[in-house]
Amino acid sequence: MHGRCAGRIVETEAYLGLEDLAAHASRGLTGRTRVLFGPPGHAYVYLIYGMYECLNLVAEPEGSPGCVLVRALEPLAGIALMRRRRPTARRVEQLCSGPGRLTMALGITRKLYGASVSHGALTVRNWADGPGFDVEVTARVGVRHCADWPLRFHMAGSRFVSGVSPARRA
């Protein structure tokens, strides 16, 4: 990422294997989905709608193509850098709220395809001693297939989750 940006993941979605028609991996192993069939702990970054990058983390053993889409981040560091990214000036709550927004804010692109999450530019750490929180489970956003599967997980009450109206941000 450009400089030192960091955030806490507050919203994710799970994408499963063959049985999940909303998952890219359900169409089998292709050039794009190759990393999904590899070992866990690596980034699956792809281009959506011709202009946004989405960050996923491979989360299943080799040969089993499950992954997690990172949908929203609570910015913790490097917020000034995020502000200078492409979106026009906006509130901090919205900087990383949404899969396309957070990759823009952090400068994540397909050049990180396959990158490990245990070291390097894209490092993910466990918040082992962090405060506990409730997780709400809903249907995934923007999918056509398997539209009612409860595979979206977000931190209850977080203002940094996507789809929270400005009025409700308090």
Partner DNA sequence: CAATAGATCATCT
Partner DNA sequence: GATGATCTATTGC
Closest approach, Cβ 39 to DNA, in A, equals 17
- Tell whether residue 37 is a contact of DNA (CB under 7 A): no
Give SS3 for 54: strand
Among 31, 130, 131, 132, binds DNA (CB under 7 A): 31
User: Taking the complex as a whole, how short is the minimal distance between the CB of residue 165 and DNA, in angstroms?
Assistant: 6
Which residue in 2, 38, 52, 121 binds DNA (CB under 7 A)? 52
**Closer CB to DNA, 17 or 121, in the complex:** 17
Which residue pairs from 94-99 have beta carbons closer than 8 angstroms and sit at least 24 positions apart in sequence? 96/7, 96/72, 96/160, 97/72, 97/73, 97/160, 97/161, 97/162, 97/164, 98/71, 98/72, 98/162, 99/48, 99/52, 99/54, 99/55, 99/69, 99/70, 99/71, 99/72, 99/162
Contact string (CB under 7 A) for DNA, positions 135-164, x = contact: -----xxxxxx----------------x--
Among 2, 8, 24, 159, binds DNA (CB under 7 A): 24
Identify the CA nearest to 103 among candidates 150, 156, 47, 144.
47
Residue type, 54: C
Cβ distance to DNA smaller for residue 132 or 166: 166
- The footprint of DNA on this chain (CB under 7 A) covers a number of residues equal to 44
**Closer residue to DNA, CB minimum distance, 8 or 32:** 32
Q: Does residue 83 belong to the site contacting DNA (CB under 7 A)?
A: no
CA 119 to chain centre: 18
| Ranges of H-type helices in the chain | 79-83, 92-95, 99-106
Q: Is 30 in the site for DNA (CB under 7 A)?
A: yes
Residues that bind DNA (CB under 7 A): 13, 15, 22-25, 27-28, 30-33, 44, 46-52, 54, 56, 67, 69, 87-88, 90, 94, 98-102, 110, 140-145, 162, 165-167
